[in-house]
Amino acid sequence: MNINVNGESHNVPENCSAKALVEMLNMQNDKIAMEVNREIVPRSQYDVFTLNENDQIEIVRAIGGG
Amino acid sequence: MNDSFTVAGKTYQSRLLVGTGKYKDMYQTKAAVEASGAEIVTVAIRRTNLGQNPGEANLLDTLPADKYTYLPNTAGCYNADDAVRTCRLARELLDGHNLVKLEVLGDEKTLLPNVAQTYLAAETLIKEDFDVMVYTNDDPIAAKRFEEMGCVAVMPLAAPIGSGLGIQNPYNILTIIENANVPILVDAGVGTASDAALAMELGCDGILMNTAIAGAKDPVLMASAMKKATEAGREAFLAGRIPRKRYASASSPVDGLFF
Contact B48 A27 (CB under 8 A): yes
Element (H, E) at B186: strand B185-187
Catalytic site includes residue B67: no
Which of chain B's residues have a Cβ under 8 Å away from the Cβ of A59?
A: 47-48, 50
pLDDT band at B55 (very low <50, low <70, confident <90, very high): low
Q: Which of B239, B165, B167 is nearest to B207 (CA)?
A: B167
Region of poorest pLDDT, from A33-47, B15-29, B47-61, B175-189: B47-61
DSSP B13: S
Q: How far is B230 from chain A (nearest CA, A)?
A: 18
Which of chain B's residues have a Cβ under 8 Å away from the Cβ of A58?
A: 47, 89
Contact A60 B48 (CB under 8 A): yes
Is B73 in the A-facing interface, judged by CB distances under 8 Å?
Answer: yes
Give me the residue from B23, B92, B211 closest to A64, CB to CB: B23
Is A9 in the B-facing interface, judged by CB distances under 8 Å?
Answer: no
pTM equals: 0.95
Strand-pairing partners, residue B12, are B5
- Domains defined for chain A, CATH in brackets: 2-61 (3.10.20.30)
pLDDT band at B7 (very low <50, low <70, confident <90, very high): very high
Contact B19 A26 (CB under 8 A): no
Say if residues A66 and B75 touch (Cβ distance below 8 Å). yes
Of the residues B10, B22, B67, B101, which is catalytic?
A: B101
- The interface pTM score, or ipTM, of the predicted complex is 0.96
DSSP string of B129-165?
A: T-EEEEEE-S-HHHHHHHHHHT-SEEEE-SSSTT---
pLDDT digits (tens, 9 = 90+) for A16-47: 999 999 999 999 999 999 999 999 999 999 99
pLDDT band at B49 (very low <50, low <70, confident <90, very high): confident
Find the residue in B nearest to A25 (Cα).
B50
